[in-house]
Amino acid sequence: MVNEVNNNLNLEEVFSRFKNSEETLLNQDGIELESYAVRYGFVIENIGFLIAENSLSEIVRNVNIYPIPKTKNWMKGLINLRGNLIPVYDFPLLLGLSEENIQHNNLLVLGDDSESVGILIDSLPQSYNIENWSKLNKLPSDISAVKNFVTDAYTVDNVIWINFDQKEYFKSIKENILI
């Protein structure tokens, strides 16, 4: 007796297993978020930074950062990420929210390919429902380092959250990297 096993894949059947990611977007508690304005962000001190909509971002851990001589202390160096040299910044130090170099656990890479930048942060980005957040009419003084690049600001639970044009901000600091 010969046992025949049918290993042929029916592509329609295979692809019908997956639902559109927009239909199944879940938060950390497993609650569906399809109708909410979900954004990712991270907090430094009491300032929350929302990652730009439709911006690629990823967390990289255990990566070698190669220092660049004669640069400011907030310019940590470069990494090689999939063949692209990515500048890495100590974000709290750059913004003046910290005065000393601190060992950060996470490297958040924003953007893609040659326009990517890496920023060192302490905590992982989280998802937030900003649908009911109230916009601030006046920008707080805490964000003076990025105020020219802020498009919206909110306050939630004593944290000031900002949307800012991160691409233009990092372009603007290129002239200030060298000592």
Q: What is the CATH number of the domain that holds 134?
A: 2.40.50.180
Report the half-sphere exposure of 176 (CA within 13 A, side-chain side): 10
**What pLDDT is recorded for position 40?**
94
DSSP element (H, E) containing 11? helix 11-15
Is residue 13 a part of any domain in this protein? no
Residue with tokens 């295979």: 14
Tokens of 111: 């953007």
**What pLDDT is recorded for position 9?**
57
**What pLDDT is recorded for position 16?**
55
Q: In angstroms, rounded to a whole number, what is the distance separating the alpha carbons of residues 111 and 115?
A: 6
DSSP element (H, E) containing 171? helix 166-172
Q: Would you say 73 and 101 are in contact if contact means Cβ atoms under 8 Å apart?
A: yes
- How many domains is the chain built from? 1
Q: Give residue 170's domain range.
A: 41-176
Report the half-sphere exposure of 103 (CA within 13 A, side-chain side): 2
Q: Which residues of the chain have pLDDT under 50?
A: 18-23, 33, 35
Q: What values do phi and psi take at 169, rounded to 5?
A: -60, -50
Q: What values do phi and psi take at 69, rounded to 5?
A: -65, 155
Is residue 132 a part of any domain in this protein? yes
**What pLDDT is recorded for position 23?**
45
pTM value surpassing 0.85: no
**What pLDDT is recorded for position 149?**
94
